[in-house]
Amino acid sequence: MRTSRRMLKQVRRALFAAFLFSGCINILMLATPLYILQIFETVVPLGSLETLLLLSAMVAAALLTSAAVEFARDNILLRSAYWLDHELGHYILENGVRLATPGSEMRQDAAALDRLRAFIASPSLIPFFDAPWTPVFLLALLALNPTIGLMATGCAALLLGISLLLGAVTSRAEAERAKSAERSQQWWQTVTGNAQYAGALGLARGAADGWELSNRAQVSAGYSIGKRTALLRAISRFVRIAAQIALYGVGAWLVIRGEIAPGALVAAAILLGRALAPLEGLVGSMRALQGAYAGYRRLASLPPDAVTPRLAASREPIVGRMEIRDVTYFHPGRKAPALRSVSVTVEPGDVIGIVGPNGSGKSTLAALLAGAIIPSQGAADLDGIPIAKWQRVAPAPPIGYLPDEPLLIEGTVHENIARFCDAPMMAIADAAIRAGVLETLKSLPFGFDTPVGPQGHALALRERRAVAFARAVFGQPRIVVVDEPELGLDGTALRRLVATLNDLKAAGTTLVLATQDPRLLELCDGIVVMNAGTIQAAGPAAEVRSRIPLDRRPAAERSEQPAVH
């Protein structure tokens, strides 16, 4: 079973290998100060050209090896970062959809993955790999001279303290900035995604002002973090430069006293620079570390793979009995339930109509029967297994669903009908024929190869619904749930829809129709009347009609054909 923890564990192994490579790089960097020390201590006093050539060849080999190891380390980090982005991104999207994770949660998961990937692939991670090897250089300085070593150790401790202080003073503000940035980005995407409608509705000024309010908190938090970071970075730079100057001053004093040689002073300066560089880099990388660590913790807590029925393995057709038992459902952020203690049973081959006024819960009940939503309380089962689990079996769920607002993903008509899986053209055409929309789709500029655009906005509403209806019957599902199928249809199109539903009924397909149109209710064997989230009446169609008048339109209006929306 795939889990985010297993993927992160593989990346941790790669990071540990990169850390060991960093250790090799740092050890090889000792070649430079040793070379300088030998030049002053051996080559110059003896005047040996052979020794100089040998030492130069050795240090050149060390530097070339260091460059090769550094290239390998950076390549490991890049491959790890983008492997994680690809594999875990696929996992977040697929498993989130299967588990019906709210879109806002999936967007936050994707943002956390983006932060972690960017941190691993960026130079901000390198100081955290180099800093643990700082004691190697400090020990070398202590070996050269205890006074210089103690001074360098004190400066290193001070820079480490500044890094930790920066993390402490910016962590809370960084969390507030991240939340504000997410709200601001969501506002921006909502308005720009519907810019034409927003302009026609007179929302230009108000939308911009609303975004400015949501963005103000982000700007304020970002400015506060920037000021603190700039101050501590300036202090850390001052400490590093002051340490280098102090080294030369103390080193000159020690040379004068004869405690160290001039070559040791030059070597000490190189060692000190190498010891303090990653600690100063920690200050600039601390914000990136905080964001990456928060993302890591979020990703590590993702749920494991959704467990779904293995239809392809058993090859046994479903019976098709749906049972809703005492279901209550709350829309996110709502206190009042959209459905309250609803119980319905749909037998195989039934044609059930769901009627009721606007806001009565008929669309919510249809979505529940299609597995689009998960009950807050109660159970919604198909053959004893939760409907939501059945529906998340790819690529052919047992229930076809046409919501009132069709969902299309950027791609072609063919790809959307096939649910972005491999499918021959004949299978797509067959689905269009069964849905009665073949002529509508053939009339598109490029037929089934017509791009639908972002969210399907390159198509008209009637065309989007035609694609969604063909997708609903693609794969010949045993059950089809349609919500307001008459929307946007004229008289001719409505008669074609009735004929299509009749054909599906004759083929033994179980149909659930959430509709207000009495002509579609004529097809139904049973009717469920919804009112304020509860079932007002349910039973055989003739019996429900005799108890509750379902067509309350005036007689003159009943004779009219539905208009095009």
Cβ–Cβ under 8 Å, residues 152 and 138: yes
Positive or negative torsion for Cα 508, 509, 514, 519: negative
Q: What is the DSSP letter of 448?
A: G
Which two tokens mark 254?
């020690």
Question: How far is Cα 416 from Cα 423, in angstroms, rounded to an integer?
Answer: 11
Task: Let me know how long the chain is.
Answer: 565
Question: How far is Cα 187 from Cα 210, in angstroms, rounded to an integer?
Answer: 8
Residues paired with residue 451 on neighbouring β-strands, in sequence order: 412
From 315, 317, 337, select the one nearest 327 (Cα to Cα).
Answer: 337
End-to-end Cα distance, the chain: 48
Question: How far is Cα 407 from Cα 416, in angstroms, rounded to an integer?
Answer: 9
From 23, 29, 267, 231, select the one nearest 152 (Cα to Cα).
Answer: 267
* pLDDT, position 263: 86
Strands 479-483 and 510-514: parallel
**What 3-state DSSP class applies to 332?**
coil
pTM: 0.76
Question: How far is Cα 164 from Cα 156, in angstroms, rounded to an integer?
Answer: 13
Cβ–Cβ under 8 Å, residues 89 and 110: yes
* pLDDT, position 388: 83
Listing DSSP states for 114-160 in one string gives HHHHHHHHSGGGHHHHHGGGHHHHHHHHHHH-HHHHHHHHHHHHHHH
* pLDDT, position 561: 41
Which two tokens mark 436?
């009665």
Cβ–Cβ under 8 Å, residues 269 and 248: yes
Helix (H) or strand (E) holding 424: none
Question: How far is Cα 91 from Cα 89, in angstroms, rounded to an integer?
Answer: 5
| Strand order through the sheet with 377-382 | 339-346, 322-329, 377-382, 385-386
Ranges of residues in the chain whose predicted pLDDT is under 70: 1, 193-194, 196-197, 201, 306-317, 393-395, 549-565
Q: How many CB atoms lie within 10 A of CB 563?
A: 9
φ, ψ (nearest 5 deg) of residue 381:
-120, 150
Cβ–Cβ under 8 Å, residues 276 and 159: yes
**What 3-state DSSP class applies to 346?**
strand
Contacts of 47 (CB under 8 A, 6+ apart): none
465-488 as b/e: b if 16+ CB within 10 A: bbbbbbbbbbbebbbbbbbbbbbb
Question: How far is Cα 362 from Cα 536, in angstroms, rounded to an integer?
Answer: 11
Cβ–Cβ under 8 Å, residues 232 and 283: yes
Dmax over CA atoms of the chain, in Å, equals 118
Cβ–Cβ under 8 Å, residues 363 and 514: yes
